[in-house]
Amino acid sequence: MISQLKQLEERLLSIGPRLLKLTKQIRDLHRKVGVGNFYLRFIQVFGEQKKRGAVGFLKTLIRLVVPSGSVLDELIIKPLNFRRKKRSSIYLPGVILGPLKYVPRDGGLFSVFNFMVSEMYLGRKVYPLFSIEEIKKANKKNGPIVHFAYLSKNCSNSWFEFFEPIEYFPGDDTHLKTFELADLPSSSGELGAPEFRWPSASLKLYTRPDFADWRLSVNRVVANKIKLKKNLKMEVEKILEGMSGRRIGVHIRHPSHFVEQGNVFFETYFSKIDKLIEKYPTYSIFLATDNELAIAAFIKKYGHQNLHYYPDFIRESIDDVLRWAYSLSRGKSDEMGLVEGVGFQTHYKLAASGFGERGIQAGREAVIDVFTLIGCDDFVCTVSNFTLTSSFMNPSLDLHLVSAGA
């Protein structure tokens, strides 16, 4: 019977699909010969195989033959038992909640904004400090600044060109003391939740059934702290007042964003908007875009009467868009939309030309565009930081996503 048992155990190790049946037979044999419950370890091996796949199976198998506390245990089992644990950001040792200066990463304005919100949502007290010295200091290792163009030598903190100072409690004037702020520990949003930081996680968030809860929850934390600068607010209110009926906001990005949002065509936007128009025959469309091609396409489709946009904003011309298209015939686009290292979106050009009033102007325009979208009833959008910001700044805004990501 013992030899029969050994034979079966050997077969058990070599034959995968019949494992279940064999373990049962072994169990019965073990019962009869009274060899304890070794079979159960095999059942566990089987369980591990089902649960963790081949690696789990092998690990448990090795565990069976290597005696606990032996040299082999030290050499094989302990290193194998190391499990890759997800590093959870706020559990890292020595996290300071604030006050902190929030220095922009070299990213887009609303990417930087969302990173900052992620930290506020976490519970950190961050005060944005948008200055050339700070961003250069923080991004020293990464070379020249290529994305974040919204700075000027004339502004010690260009945040105040766009937003009011942030207050965490009544009478909080920390943000206004620029020099003292510069001495605070720094943060660039690296501790925030993935939803705020990674396009793929944001995309997953949009389809989560708890997305509405998430929007409300974030809004509750940040909406009373982030306030638009008065002059910008007036501009937003002015255009919104002029929009009658259902307000449909649309955001069309430079086509080089296909690397994040996938290929989205005007007809996709139009079909979504047309469905909304069918539902709400009295409507106005607000178009936020960084290129004139989109404006031309929308005027052709919807005419001037129902279409609203800020006419004098800095945008790429139709020829600029064509230049980008031609460049693609000669080179390849990277994951940021740069073709052979050349950026075709407005902010790349502004950053490359050095910081100045045009950078601040572009920042103001981006902020006005986003907050006008936030004031709409519907938002036809793609995967972008504009969409994410709008989602939590106005939790009742109806989002209509036209892209499913790249």
Partner 1 sequence: MKPFNDKLKSVALVRMDRIGDFLLWLSAAKFYRQYFSSSKIVFFANEVFASLARKFPYWDQVITVSVPDSTSAVCSLSKFEEFDLAINLHFSRTFTQDSFLGAIPAKRRIAVRIQGPNMNCEQYRLGNSIYSDLIDLDLEPKHELQRNFDIMNLITGLGQSAQLEDLRGRFSSSALSLPKKYAAVFPSASWKERAYPWPRLLGILKSLWEEHGILSVILGGKEDKVLGANIHRNAMEFTLDLCGKQSLEESLFLIQGSQLVIANDSMAAHAANFLSKPSVCIVGGGYHVSEKEGRFFPYPKKLISEDLQISLRYPIACEGCNNLCRYADTIGDCLPCIDYISAELVSASVKKVVKSSKSGQGMHQ
Residues that bind partner 1 (CB under 8 A): 20, 23-24, 27, 36-37, 40-41, 43-44, 46-47, 50-51, 63, 68, 88-97, 122-124, 192-195, 201, 204-205, 208-210, 213-214, 216-217, 220
- Give the shortest CB-174-to-partner 1 separation in angstroms: 16
Q: Are strands 100-102 and 186-187 parallel, antiparallel or unpaired?
A: parallel
Pick between residue 75 and residue 90 the one whose CB is nearest to partner 1: 90
Q: Outline where 15-104 has alpha helix (H).
A: 19-33, 38-65, 71-72, 78-81
Helix (H) or strand (E) holding 127: strand 126-128
Pick between residue 66 and residue 336 the one whose CB is nearest to partner 1: 66
Pick between residue 217 and residue 271 the one whose CB is nearest to partner 1: 217
Pick between residue 205 and residue 287 the one whose CB is nearest to partner 1: 205
- Give the shortest CB-110-to-partner 1 separation in angstroms: 20
Contact between 25 and 8 under an 8 Å Cβ cutoff? The reply is yes
- Cβ neighbourhood burial of 300 (10 Å; 0-12, 13-18, 19+): exposed
Pick between residue 225 and residue 233 the one whose CB is nearest to partner 1: 225
Locate 58 and state its tokens.
Answer: 């092998």
- Give the shortest CB-205-to-partner 1 separation in angstroms: 7
Q: What angle do CA 58, 62, 68 make, to 5 degrees?
A: 145
Pick between residue 194 and residue 331 the one whose CB is nearest to partner 1: 194
Pick between residue 75 and residue 92 the one whose CB is nearest to partner 1: 92
Count of C-beta atoms within a 10 Å radius of residue 14: 7
**How far does the chain reach from its first CA to its final CA, in angstroms?**
62
Give me the residues paired with residue 381 across strands: 401
- Give the shortest CB-111-to-partner 1 separation in angstroms: 17
- Give the shortest CB-95-to-partner 1 separation in angstroms: 5
Give me the residues paired with residue 342 across strands: 339
Q: What angle do CA 363, 366, 372 make, to 5 degrees?
A: 140
- Give the shortest CB-142-to-partner 1 separation in angstroms: 24
CA distance 363 to 60: 57
- Give the shortest CB-396-to-partner 1 separation in angstroms: 17
In this structure, is the dihedral angle defined by the CA atoms of residues 139, 145, 150 and 151, taken in order, positive or negative? positive
Pick between residue 70 and residue 231 the one whose CB is nearest to partner 1: 70
Q: What are the φ and ψ backbone dihedral angles of 353, each rounded to 5 degrees?
A: -85, 5
- Give the shortest CB-316-to-partner 1 separation in angstroms: 34
Integer CA distances (angstroms), 355 to 115, 131, 376, in order: 22, 10, 32
